[in-house]
Chains A and B, each alone.
Chain A
Amino acid sequence: MKQLLLGNAAVARGLYEAGCRFVSAYPGTPSTEISEQAALYDEIYAEWAPNEKVAMEAAIGAAFGGARSFCGMKHVGLNVAADPLFTASYTGVNAGMVICVADDPGMHSSQNEQDSRHYAEAAKLPMVEPSDSAECLEFTKTAYEISEQFDVPVILRSCTRVAHSQSLVELSDRVEHELKPFEKNPRKYVMMPGNAIGRHVVVEDRQARLREYAETTPLNRVEMGDTSVGFITSGTSYQYLREVFPNASILKLGMVYPLPVQLIKDFASKVGKLIVCEELDPFIENHCRAIGVRVDGGKDIFGLQGELSQSRIAERMGLSAKPSVEFGENVPARPPVLCPGCPHRGVFYALHKLGVTVFGDIGCYTLGALPPLGAVDTTVCMGASISGMHGFNTARGAESAKNTVSVIGDSTFAHSGITSLIDLVYNNGSSTAIILDNSITGMTGHQQNPTTGKTLKGDPAPAVNIEKLCEAIGVKHDNIRVCDPYALKEFEQIVREELAKPEPSVIIARRPCALLPEVKPLPPLVVDSDKCVGCKMCMRIGCPAISVTDGKAAIDPTLCVGCDLCIQMCRPGAIGKNQEV
């Protein structure tokens, strides 16, 4: 039966059909739906881990324990999980293990544009790369076969356009794999120097065998056509190329590490010009050059940045652009914004007003950097808000700690903010961390996390008590303040008080995400235009529901959720609930 499936759902289907029993992941666009979809199968145990490192370690443990296992993450998540990744290459697996990493060329929802193929080479792990949903399913199953045949974790590399495109997929039944016995084998599983030295020999031997496998695997495919130009490509770039050049000769690489040698040399010998078409880094191109294959075009044509597309390829290959009609006037940008009713809005308004330096983190609240709130001064990676602030304040002295805060969400705090807070407290810092607890992992689309009291499968779970955790870390009880970010004045006062203390403080701004189904929107607010003086104070909170036309504020009733932040902003009292005005 054919179904239209999202690339991520097709990976999940591949897990199901391959008999995978264990999934652990931390959400990250564009990888999140793999685990959400896998969780819908009763046969698969699926969990959200606090971070990618933990997820990978859990999946390694499950594979040691004899179950086919999986962990999934976005590209930057693999940085977090790099530690277990490199050593799991030495231990190998027992039952098969697949790691999905989803890159984000074009940075639709990411803080960098790294090319995760380098991890396969650096950790000496095979990597496969599907180009559509059908291949997501097939390659996932093949990845388990490679994993068990070579006793190695296999990386499945996806990207935004594969993960978040839907295409047709043929479904099959699940093939169960019995739990393999775990046999004690310290020389394989205990990676201390004496054993690891022996395992490195195994890794290099495996590399040689994988290189042979790469020469003949059907994952790599030659499609001969017009031989004047031949393209070597992989993943989504293949689809763009095929659309532009329906009759071209293409070597489509489904296995991007290790790359074949003879297969490429043979292909190169049959075509006139050889062009390597790949997004981001010259990974395939450099390999071609290293093995002595003449490359007539690669990064010099396609560049190192952003995504490719059929037009970008056509244009770079010298074909003319398609005719189009242009609007011809400047169209204002429409950047993403904090939603109406977002509990983060009041926090950023207050911080902006106080004029403090704000170390930000990764989540919806990164949007607090945009105008008119413009309150976030730095964003690096998950967890870097508190630790970054600690370094900043330590470098700049005690006065800096009175004017600098960090903001981090509940999920990000559990991911990697806890160790950052420990760093601050343990080292006698005096900074103030604000935890934006909206009871969910927001930006990736509402996933549960260790602080929410529910698992990925929706079962009740113990919730991390953030207050008690902070206290256990060593933050004084009186310096842990919980407040409602909708209460603007109170929040602002608490920030002032905690900034003044020469001790570490944690402010927990707690209110559920306005988009959660259990949060019922209140009736939209209205502006009494007789009372409105057109001062535009209400515009300073950057609410998309509020606009000013002809000098008077107006609230869009289809967007307003009645949070009443704008009422607190309005000095003449022109904004109110429907019946009051």
Chain B
Amino acid sequence: MSETKSIMIVGVGGQGTLLASRILGSALMSYGHDVKLSEVHGMSQRGGSVVTYVKYGDKVYSPLVDRGEADYILSFERLEAARWLGWLKKGGELIVNDQRINPMPVITGAASYPDGILEKIKALGVNMVSADALSLALEAGSSKAVNVVLIGILASIMDLPEDVWMKAIEDNVKPRFVEMNKKAFALGYAKGKSRS
């Protein structure tokens, strides 16, 4: 029996984390895994810190991922990577979009945005891939494709066949955006491969 694996997708409400988890969930399911996803809806979606969980394996019970359990964390923003770092399993992989979105306490001056987050995480010995996913998304055709760029990077370090990912994209995005998203996926995938 294969062990249950856990993925966390973290970011800022409005960044498209839900679509990322749906693409991931449908790819893992079509590959034959038992899958559970846990999402956030409602108030926290309004620009707040958001997290969705994806778990897969032979049999998944809890849909949640707790501290020290995530095999992969896909972070859409630097500060969120710092916030959720403790959820990464020892030896897990962190993928970070190198983007800064100031939270309201930073905007109002009540708190400050930590400097050098990625360098500090790296210094802790964490396996990390960082990428300017926003630039890659723009290169693919839309700033909204940040989520699929990051999925592409994740795909480059997971062992699922490419056609499974392509079908998951086709099944989860509107037909007119499929090509753009496939391009975003390919750019992310290439970025992920280039570091290893």
- In the bound assembly, the distance between CA atoms of A544 and B60 in angstroms comes to 38
User: What's the tally of chain B residues with a CB closer than 8 Å to chain A?
Assistant: 64
For A326, list chain B residues within 8 Å (CB).
Answer: 85-86
* Interface membership of A530, Cβ < 8 A: no
For B85, list chain A residues within 8 Å (CB).
Answer: 324-327
Q: Give the contact stretch, choosing among B61-69, B151-159, B179-187.
A: B61-69
- In the bound assembly, the distance between CA atoms of A333 and B49 in angstroms comes to 8
> Given A309-B64, A323-B90, A371-B110, are A336 and B46 also a contact pair (CB < 8 Å)?
yes
Q: Would you give the 0/1 interface string for B94-118, flagging 1 where the beta carbon is closer than 8 Å to chain A? A: 0000000111111111111110010
For A366, list chain B residues within 8 Å (CB).
Answer: 43
* Interface membership of B189, Cβ < 8 A: no
- In the bound assembly, the distance between CA atoms of A445 and B41 in angstroms comes to 8
Partner of B107, one of A323, A364, A546: A546
- Residues B36 and A334 in contact, CB atoms below 8 Å apart: no
> Given A165-B37, A324-B67, A546-B107, are A109 and B88 also a contact pair (CB < 8 Å)?
no
- Residues B35 and A327 in contact, CB atoms below 8 Å apart: no
* Interface membership of A79, Cβ < 8 A: no
For B40, list chain A residues within 8 Å (CB).
Answer: 108, 164
> Given A164-B38, A322-B89, are A334 and B43 also a contact pair (CB < 8 Å)?
no
Q: Would you give the 0/1 interface string for B35-65, flagging 1 where the beta carbon is closer than 8 Å to chain A? A: 1111111111111110000000000111110
For A164, list chain B residues within 8 Å (CB).
Answer: 38-41
For B64, list chain A residues within 8 Å (CB).
Answer: 161, 240, 309-310
For B46, list chain A residues within 8 Å (CB).
Answer: 336-339, 364, 367, 443
- Output the least CB separation between A519 and chain B (Å): 15
- In the bound assembly, the distance between CA atoms of A167 and B83 in angstroms comes to 27
* Interface membership of B26, Cβ < 8 A: yes
For A370, list chain B residues within 8 Å (CB).
Answer: 104
* Interface membership of B134, Cβ < 8 A: yes
Partner of B25, one of A4, A109, A239, A323: A4
For A403, list chain B residues within 8 Å (CB).
Answer: none
Q: Would you give the 0/1 interface string for A438-457, flagging 1 where the beta carbon is closer than 8 Å to chain B? A: 00000111000000000000
Q: Would you give the 0/1 interface string for A310-341, flagging 1 where the beta carbon is closer than 8 Å to chain B? A: 11100000000111111111111111111100
- In the bound assembly, the distance between CA atoms of A491 and B107 in angstroms comes to 25
For B66, list chain A residues within 8 Å (CB).
Answer: 309-312, 322
- Residues B62 and A108 in contact, CB atoms below 8 Å apart: no
For A108, list chain B residues within 8 Å (CB).
Answer: 40, 42-44
- In the bound assembly, the distance between CA atoms of A558 and B137 in angstroms comes to 12
- Residues A544 and B62 in contact, CB atoms below 8 Å apart: no
Q: Which residue of A lies closest to B36 (CB)?
A: A167
- Output the least CB separation between A553 and chain B (Å): 11
- Residues B80 and A334 in contact, CB atoms below 8 Å apart: yes
> Given A166-B35, A321-B67, A336-B13, are A309 and B62 also a contact pair (CB < 8 Å)?
yes
- In the bound assembly, the distance between CA atoms of A556 and B14 in angstroms comes to 14
- Residues A30 and B104 in contact, CB atoms below 8 Å apart: no
Partner of B108, one of A240, A336, A539: A539
- Residues B14 and A166 in contact, CB atoms below 8 Å apart: no
For A327, list chain B residues within 8 Å (CB).
Answer: 82-83, 85-86, 117, 120-121, 124
For B38, list chain A residues within 8 Å (CB).
Answer: 161, 164-166
- Residues A166 and B37 in contact, CB atoms below 8 Å apart: yes
- In the bound assembly, the distance between CA atoms of A580 and B152 in angstroms comes to 39
For B107, list chain A residues within 8 Å (CB).
Answer: 372, 539, 542, 544, 546-547
* Interface membership of A242, Cβ < 8 A: yes
For A559, list chain B residues within 8 Å (CB).
Answer: 101
A-B contact pairs, 8 of them (CB 8 A): A109-B44, A165-B38, A239-B62, A239-B63, A327-B83, A332-B113, A339-B46, A544-B102
With A332-B112, A337-B46, A366-B43 already in contact, 14 other A-B pairs whose C-beta atoms are closer than 8 Å: A4-B37, A33-B41, A108-B42, A109-B42, A109-B44, A236-B63, A240-B62, A309-B64, A310-B64, A322-B89, A336-B43, A371-B104, A372-B107, A445-B41
Residues of B within 8 A of A (CB): 4, 12-14, 25-26, 29, 34-49, 60-64, 66-69, 79-80, 82-83, 85-90, 101-114, 117, 120-121, 124-126, 134, 143
- Top 3 A-B residue pairs of the complex, sorted by shortest distance between their CB atoms: A322-B68, A109-B42, A29-B42
Residues of A within 8 A of B (CB): 2, 4, 6, 29-30, 32-33, 108-109, 132, 161, 164-168, 236, 239-240, 242-243, 309-312, 321-339, 364, 366-367, 370-372, 443-445, 539, 542, 544, 546-547, 556, 558-559
